[in-house]
Copies of this chain bind each other. A is one copy, B any other.
Amino acid sequence: MSKTRVGIINVTGYAGSELARILYRHPEVGVEQVTGRSAAGKQLSEVYPHLLDADMTISPSLDSSVDFVFSALPHAASAEALSPFIEEDVRCVDISADFRLKDVNVFESWYKTEHPCPQHIENAVYGMPELHRDDVKRSRLIANPGCYPTGTILGLAPAFASDIIETDVISDSKSGISGAGRKGDVAYNFNEINDNMSAYGLSGHRHMPEMSQELSALSKHGEVKVTFVPHLAPMTRGILGTHYANLKSEVSQEGATDIYRTFYADEPFVRVVSSAPSTKETWGSNHVLINVNIDAYSGRLIVVTALDNLVKGAAGAGVQNMNLMLGLPETTGLETLAIYP
C-alpha cells in the first residue's frame, strides 16, 4: 500500500517544522510538499538545518496531488488556505484557531477578524481525541486544540465529568517561548526573556473561550467560567498549568486520583502521575502529565499539568488526529520518549 501523501502549509514556523520532524519518521505517510510564506524556493534545511535529512524545496503553495493537509498558518490565513482543500474533501488538520470555536461570533470577537469561511465550522471537529475520539475518526476537518487549552481542558475534564467542582475555575499557566512562534520581535529577544518571568493577557487571552467551550460541554451545570492567566517562562518548550477549582463537597485525595485514573485509563498519551510533574519530562514527546491534589484546608482541587507545547500542544496532537482519521494506530510515529535532561 502506498503512503499517504501529506502536505504541510507553513512549514517554516515552529509547529510546521515540528510536523516535518515527526512525520519524517512516520512509517505510513510521506511529506510530499511543504510551503512557507517568505521562504518559497529555499530548501527546508536552509531555514532549519536540523531537518537536513528531510530536505525538500519549499513551495509557494500545495497542489492537488496531496491526500492530507496540515496547516500551521496563523488564524484567518489558515482557514483561507485550507478552504479549497476542504471543498475538495481532502482531509485537513488545522493547527490554527480558525475552526475551534463553534460560535463564529465568539471567534470574530476574540480574534478581531472576519472568519474567511464560517460555513465550514460546523463540519470541523475539535481534535482532542481524549474527548472526541469517535468524531475525530469520522472527521474530514480537524481543529487542532490550542497549546494552553490542551493542558487546561485535559486537566479539568475528569473533574467536570464527575461533577465534583464548581463551574468557576482558575488556570494559571506558564509557557515556554516557542509558543509565541518564530518571531523577530524585540519582546522575544533572548535578552528580554532570559532569566525573566512575566504574566500577560491579563485583560483576556484568546485561548479562554476555547477552554470554556469544551469544559462547559462536560459540565453538568452550564457555562464554565475560566479565569486564565498565561505567563512566559524562560524556557523554550513546555507548558506547566496549575488549575484551581472549588470542590462542591468533600473529596479525598485518593478519590480524586481515582476519578482521573479511571477517566484516562485507556488513553495512550495521558499519564496521571503521583507527584508534581515538570515540563522537561515531556520534552519532545506527545505525553500529558497530570497530577491531582486535594487541598482540604481550602476545599480546593489543584491540578498540575505538563506537556510539550509544540508536540501534544500542536504538531504531535495533529499527527495523533491524522492517525485516527486515516484508521492507523493512534500512536504511530509518536512512540518516542521525552528527551531528558
Contacts and interface: CB of A to CB of B under 8 A. Distances in A.
A51 interface: yes
Interface in A207-231: 225, 227, 229, 231
Given A190-B193, A295-B227, A341-B14, A240 B198 contact: yes
Contacts of A197: 174, 176, 233, 235, 238, 240, 278-279
Interface in A244-283: 244, 271, 273, 276-283
Interface string A168-207: 1010101011100011111011111111111110111000
B199 A235 contact: no
A234 interface: yes
B233 A337 contact: no
Contacts of A172: 172, 242, 244
Contact of A233 (B14, B52, B233, B302): B233
Interface residues of A, number: 82
A25 interface: yes
A53 interface: yes
Interface of A is mostly: mixed
A6 to B, nearest CB: 16
Contacts of A189: 177, 182-185, 188-190
A244 B231 contact: no
Contacts of A191: 14, 177-178, 182, 188, 236, 341
A338 interface: yes
A191 B244 CA distance: 30
Contacts of A277: 49, 198
A162 to B, nearest CB: 20
Interface in A268-321: 271, 273, 276-285, 289, 291, 293, 295, 297-298, 300, 302, 304, 306
6 contacts: A52-B271, A189-B189, A195-B283, A227-B298, A227-B300, A229-B302
